[in-house]
Every structure is written in C-alpha cells, then in structure tokens.
Amino acid sequence: MLIVSIETSGREGSLALCRGHSSSYEVLEMTPLTGRMYSAELVPKLDQMLQKHSLTVKDLEGVAVVSGPGSFTGLRVGLATAKALGEALNIPIATVSMLEALASTVNSAEPVVTALDAQRGEVYVGEYHELEGGVCQSCESLQSVDHFLTWVKAKDPAPNVHTPDDSLIQKLRAEFAPATFLPRADAGVIGRCGFKKLRAGESVTPAEVDANYIRKSDAEIFSAPKLGLL
C-alpha cells in the first residue's frame, strides 16, 4: 500500500511518501514543511516526491494525517489536504493523534504516558496501553501543569512521562517524577501508525475527517459569552 503521510500540527512539519506490506513498512522519502507555509508547500512537495519516484497521485492508496492536538491553523491545512486527496482519489484516510504517535515509539508492555506542552500553563496528556503490537488509546486530556504534576506523583508507581518538551521534563524532574525526552513524531512515524490503522480497517471517509484539538479554539472560548453559553 502506497500512502502519503502529513504532519502539520507543530511549528515545523513534514511530508512523507511511505509503502507498507503485510510484514514491512518503509519511508520512500520524507521532506520538511515550513511552519506557516503549509498551505503553499504541501501539494507542490507531494507532486515533487511522486515525480522523483516515477509515480503519480493516482498511485496513492491511502492517506495518514495528524488530527491533533496542535496548531489550529496547521491542523486545518493538513486535514483539508487529506480530505481533498481522499475524496478525489476515493482512497481511505487514517487520522493519527500526535500523542498516540509518540506512544507508538516507546517499546514497553506497561501503560505509556505521553505529554505535550499546551502553553497557557496547560498540558496535553495521553495514556495508552499496548495492544497486538500497536497502541490502544486509554485517555487523552488537557490538564493544568499543577494538576498534571499532582496526578503523576499520586500514581504508584509514578509513570515515566515521555515528551519532546524540555520545559515539561524540567518541571517533572523538579518534582522527582520520572521523565524521558522523546523526539516529536515526524511524518514517517505518522505514516507507520496510519498504515497499521488502514490495514486494520480503522479508516474514515473524507466527510468523517475531523480535528482532535482537545482544547477549544479561541473563537469558541471568547464567543461563548456572547452566545449566552456561559
């Protein structure tokens, strides 16, 4: 199965052309995407990669895309591109959480906790357990930093938190809580997670593709009082 993998959730992103078989997975090529330039770079860079490998867009058999959490604008660009490809080519789409992708790189039979700095004194937290060589989501949440640190310390034993954010590692270690640096998942990792989902039949249609922001957007937060929702 030839798939394109899209990661536009962070300040910098990536795009990958991947091929998966029943017992193997390979990244044919991966290219970086410039933050705030996703909409201008995605399609041209995909076209360049396909041409380089003597392929066309019609050879694609699936799409893997990060659904969140992360940059609202970046996620919308990536998901819109995935939707367009899925609808135009009639191919399946697999949405992947960045927290889930991080967990997939941890080799552990024990439950895995991943975290991302959500700014504003908050943390995106994912709890996962292993299932048949992959990861199965237990819970994803948005917590205040203080609540998160209290939650980690209250666990017995305290979980080893995996995160790409140095600021979180410093805060955890200051509280004598275990923490491990984990590089942010790129499009190659996203493609691997997406390929597993596509093989398992865990795909979505273009109409079902949706962002997993976890946190509400500023527009939703600040418009709520005007709409009488608070």
Tell me which residue of 83, 111, 115, 84 sits closest to 97, measured CA to CA: 115
Is the domain of 40 the same as that of 110?
A: no
Is the domain of 117 the same as that of 8?
A: no
pLDDT value of residue 134: 66
Domain of residue 36: give its range: 2-98+184-223
Residue at 210 is within a domain: yes
| pLDDT higher at 229 or 13 | 13
* Mean of pLDDT over the chain: 91
Helix segments in 90-228, DSSP class H: 98-104, 145-154, 166-174, 187-199, 218-223
Three-state SS at 64: strand
pLDDT above 70 (res 223): no
Is the domain of 91 the same as that of 129?
A: no
pLDDT above 60 (res 179): yes
Express each pLDDT in 67-89 by its tens digit.
Answer: 999 999 999 999 999 999 999 99
Is the domain of 189 the same as that of 81?
A: yes
